[in-house]
A = this chain, B = another copy of it.
Amino acid sequence: HRAIIEATSDIACAYKPNFAFFEAMGAAGYEALAQTLEAIPRDIPVIADAKRGDVPNTAMAYARAIYDVWNCDAVTVNPYLGHDSIEPFLRPGRGVFLLCRTSNPGAGDLQDLRTGDDGAPLYQVIARRAAEWGNDGSIGLVVGATYPDEGRAIRKLAPGLLFLVPGLGAQGGDLEASVAATLDRSGQGCLFNASRQVIYAGAGKDFDVAARAAALALRDAINGVRDAQVVRRQVKAPMDLRPADRVQLKKAHACGGDQWTVTRIGADIGLRCERCERHVLLDRVTVERRIVAFIERAPSAATG
């Protein structure tokens, strides 16, 4: 792994070691994981792809393993056990990626279940909860590249969250579709992950050269889609804000509240703080940039 890291460290924005493949090799894998993490330059974030999730007392132990033993910066966490199981992973300067829409063919078995009064599929509930639970940027979402339609729906619900997007390459995710679907309005907000596509790009002695070429090609392809999209956005209609939308903003209000109700639409957007009830008027560009998530959508003029 060291050679692959050296060949790609000026291209990759993060590394995401998959703990399963190290664990499957027993003691040798334990040693290999240590060496792999050691080889990653200090300034590049490391996401432990470990998909942990347990009751709070146990989750604390997993957090110690990921953050203190392995010194990783972030971890993938399964949300099924609820908020108190995620809390132990929330530490200043560390990040959690909650499984929202996974990249496997069977993802929909449970993630597509219709829930609650509005029939929102389960994966969308996770997206909404993530915005509530980690409004300070500490929680991101895992959004499989193999499901661009679902990715687009998640991005609409959580415009300001960071996405980890696995499933490009070997798993068959369509690069153009998934990049276009998941980037935020400024063309950012995603970490696209490729594992097998890069690591196994070459089978010969020059596997590191092949890995570098694959990583470069992937980066350029992603950035190409992004640039096209940003240009398109600049001539595009503004965000579909509606009166009575409930939104979560990035910066807390002076009173401490961060949830707002939209009261007025126009070049300036009227907002009422749900905590202190004060009204503010902000220009649309600022509001669009600050929205982390829609807590509740008002019906659109067309359907409402």
Which A residues are within 8 Å of any B CB, using their own CB?
A: 18, 20-21, 23-27, 30, 51-59, 61-62, 64-65, 68-69, 78-85, 99, 102-111, 113-116, 122, 125-126, 129, 171
Contact = CB atoms under 8 A, between A and B. Distances in A.
Contacts of A103: 55
A111 B20 contact: no
* Assembly stoichiometry (copies): 2
Contact of A24 (B65, B84, B104, B108): B65
B64 A24 contact: yes
Given A51-B53, A122-B122, A171-B55, A82 B69 contact: no
Nearest to A21: B61
A58 B106 contact: no
A40 to B, nearest CB: 18
B113 A56 contact: no
Contact of A30 (B27, B113, B126): B27
Contacts of A110: 79-82, 122, 125-126, 129
A103 B85 CA distance: 11
Contacts of A115: 113-115, 122
Given A114-B116, A115-B115, A20 B82 contact: no
A29 to B, nearest CB: 8
B82 A109 contact: yes
Contacts of A122: 110, 113, 115, 122
A80 B81 CA distance: 10
A127 to B, nearest CB: 12
A108 B82 contact: yes
A104 B56 contact: yes
Sorted nearest first, the 10 A-B pairs with minimum C-beta distance are A82-B109, A82-B106, A84-B106, A20-B61, A23-B65, A55-B104, A24-B61, A24-B64, A26-B69, A113-B115
A129 B57 CA distance: 28
Given A64-B24, A69-B23, A129-B109, A18 B85 contact: no
